[in-house]
Chain A
């Protein structure tokens, strides 16, 4: 059986913001076809990792390679062509607020040189149907609820047919019912388009639904990496405590995580 192609490889990643060290020699790989969740407490640098991978932030040290090519050695034009193979669903949605939903979804297509209006319209309508938002084409982002904005952001990312999708906290700020809907939607879309995905979340229900490999990030490193069962049975007490606490109290994920952190800080690395 041939090995899957590695799409993302991160080696010895260091990143600090002033005195705050967020990444401390982090190593990580993501292969084609994998659906991976990065778990961890709030403020541990999960979103920073995504932004470094897509090149929105520069690492202080270490190497990030996309499709086998170290991004530090790439010209901006080359990096942009790799970015077009990726899509990122931002935590805030990052929808263009002066454009309608239709224009938001058409944007990546138009910018990639698609000029056929009928083809653009067909893609936009299909992606909106995927996220159960058919008929919302003429609305502006300000007219949408938080959950609808996340779904439009997801549809916009999918409009460009990315090979790799990065999700930054796709369910944060949503009620449990809407969170479940979004998680199911991401799962269905992964099945439909067979894309590779990397989901940053502290929502365990979302991680269960969308990922078959979990990585637990803490102290600037991946402390545990494996199947969900592997992590629940991890030797590391911090990982087990986090998963146990967040399972018991999923609606207050970060709070539970922080409590867990306080409780197990002495046992870190055990």
Chain B
């Protein structure tokens, strides 16, 4: 329990130090753009592939269930609402934690082990400002964008299967899918993406910086980053879902 509380405390202090540096504008635009490309563009294929298959499976499952009630036409409503409210943000975040978060934790952890982080400090540079801040900012900006794209891919994938299975016309499918999504849903979707991106960024960089100075320590940091990111994303999702239901 003491170790858990100490870790939470240290994570809080680390997060505070990252936020302080945001206010001091200590990040170079070139490095921020490089990180945005790295964490965003390079993740497009894996996140979208995941969204496509989830969309396909969702249509398969819901269409057979809805057929029992003679409501196959509502597939688009369910796919649209489910993707924008829950599946899009949560699955994109989980894939992001696996694809980007673990990579960042391993990268910074390796830099700790090989004294590269010490070299930053020896040069009079702040490793949190130089290494953590651009990555956290890039992840906060890029995950909502990835989430939005993955929702479109998932809904489109669902449409292709629905068309093949039931022959539902594209216009009707899209009308129903869009009708199921309110502006608050869109706001919630993008907000969840940004907040999940921020949390994954903070957890990944913190895991890297706190890696024990051994090769095994890098592995531990990577695993810890993934597990903690998924847990925190799911808890945050519950809170945010409740919040957006209240304001919606």
Contacts and interface: CB of A to CB of B under 8 A. Distances in A.
B123 to A, nearest CB: 5
Given A55-B121, A86-B122, A160-B123, 5 more contacts: A51-B118, A81-B124, A82-B124, A87-B122, A97-B116
B119 A84 contact: no
B118 to A, nearest CB: 5
A51 B119 CA distance: 11
Contacts of A107: 123
Interface of A: 51, 54-56, 76, 79-84, 86-88, 90, 92, 94-97, 107-108, 111, 160
Nearest to B121: A56
B115 interface: yes
B126 interface: yes
B114 interface: yes
Contacts, number: 47
Nearest to B110: A97
B116 to A, nearest CB: 5
B119 to A, nearest CB: 4
Contact of A94 (B114, B124, B130): B114
Interface string B167-205: 000000000000000000000000000000000000000
A107 to B, nearest CB: 8
Nearest to B24: A77
26 contacts: A51-B118, A54-B122, A55-B121, A80-B125, A80-B126, A82-B124, A83-B121, A83-B122, A83-B123, A84-B124, A88-B119, A90-B115, A90-B118, A90-B122, A92-B115, A94-B116, A94-B118, A94-B119, A95-B116, A95-B119, A96-B119, A97-B116, A107-B123, A108-B123, A111-B123, A111-B130
B215 to A, nearest CB: 13
Size band of the B side of the interface? Answer: 10 to 19
B123 A84 contact: yes
Contacts of A97: 114, 116
B13 to A, nearest CB: 14
Contacts of A160: 123
A86 B122 CA distance: 8
Contacts of A87: 122
Interface in B93-148: 114-116, 118-119, 121-126, 130
Contacts of B116: 94-97
Contact of B118 (A56, A84, A86): A56
Q: Which of B114, B118, B119 has the most CB of A within 10 A?
A: B119
A80 B124 contact: yes
A96 B126 CA distance: 15
